[in-house]
Amino acid sequence: MNYLPYFSMETWTLLVTVFTLIAVYAYWPYGTFKRIGVPGPKPIPFFGTMLNYKRGFTTFDQECFNKYGKTWGIYDGRQPVLCTTDISMIKTVLVKECYSVFTNRRNFRLNGPLYDAVSIAEDDHWKRIRSVLSPSFTSGRLKEMFDLMKQHSANLVSSMQKKADKNEVLELKEFFGPYSMDVVTSTAFSVDIDSLNNPSDPFVVNIKKMLKFDFFDPVFLLIAFFPFMAPIFEKMEYSFFPAYVTDFFYTSLKKIKASRLASKQEERSRTSSSSLSFLAYNLALNPGPMTKLQQEIDSAFPNQRVAKATVEINGLVIPKDAVFMVPLWPLHRDPEFWPNPEEFQPERFNKENKERIEPYTYMPFGMGPRNCIGMRFAVVMMKLAMVEILQRFSFVVCDETEVPLEMDVQGLLMPKRPIRVKLEPRSDH
């Protein structure tokens, strides 16, 4: 019995050709790392190695580091991504060859009005934007912003005081998130939203919506599977960022600009918020270092680049358009550079030990010409908050403190569940 449908020879030829082309398209990019001798997890057609992200980005990075060593290759859909914690390669890519070959960061397109943001812009366009923005983060400008930051740190401490007085558990992101947002909006937009006390303010609501991103968004997956679709979606003015959100900020900025002229005169908050939460969590778990930090405070304050051309680095040929990524989670936990990496040891970064840190092994703000432009701003903001809090309180663990933390599987480095601790007023104050 013939179970195959009856088709003419021309139809069979066409079907075989179509399926052959689909198979070639599905498997073609996945020989990139095999050809240059780079190990890595086995990709599957269209998805590449992306399904591993469901276990969490940090978990996947650490597993690859443990299994393949300092350099390995993965595939985001059809996009080859070379991952390395080799410090000589990191230095070459992020610094030495930044302006010649590795100038641009990875760009997923579909950025809408944010197409020329400093973190996305490319080549000479990026250089112009960076040169315009850099003067905003000089020491002099940061000093001018300090009084504004001080106001918001005072609001932060006041809000925490209310919880401490009632002996209630603090969900840290509910305090550090609004604090970071208030500092950024007041210094960058000249808008005082006081999100600690006004969580429903339109600025707060829209910023939270803008910062949400899902790597398994259907459109994102479609572009990962079929990269040639990206220009088509761009022509259709489709954006990963909701149009009503970007319209809100665009309108707000126009009003702010108009008001400044009449009188003649970006995502930063979430990373700072998470950093403050992680710091408070570690201080709560390690009262010894926290006490030492409080003593120092008391004494000081009374009361993914993209290769533009095929290039060879350290004997490894990186093909044009391959993405180069430094997986910071395993790099910052490499026992070769960080003895007992899971232990909270702030002394690693004191004046004596800081000089012994191997260059390019610690880069929380990136490295080279395309490092985080707001690095000094963020550090000042975080230090100010911690100084204000630790002058008055100590962080302590409670029954609701999760130990150890489970990390979120989404892109940004965040805990899966909110960090909860308690505040205790200092008995020596």
> Which segments are annotated as binding site for heme?
372
Name which of 273, 267, 222, 204 is nearest 241 in CA terms. 267
DSSP string for 4-44? SPP--HHHHHHHHHHHHHHHHHHHGGGGHHHHTT---PPPB
Token pair listed for 407 = 């990390």
d(CA 326, CA 416): 23
- Quote the CA–CA distance of 239 and 115 in Å, as a whole number: 10
> What is the Cα–Cα distance from 20 to 264, expressed in whole angstroms?
66
Distances (CA, A) of 2 to 5, 6, 9, 12, 119: 8, 9, 16, 16, 60
Residues annotated in the binding site, as ranges? 372
Q: Which two tokens stand for residue 21?
A: 């082309």
Who contacts 278 (Cβ-Cβ below 8 Å, separation ≥6)?
415, 419
Q: Are 338 and 332 in contact (CB under 8 A)?
A: yes
Structure tokens at 290: 């926290």
Find the length of the chain.
429
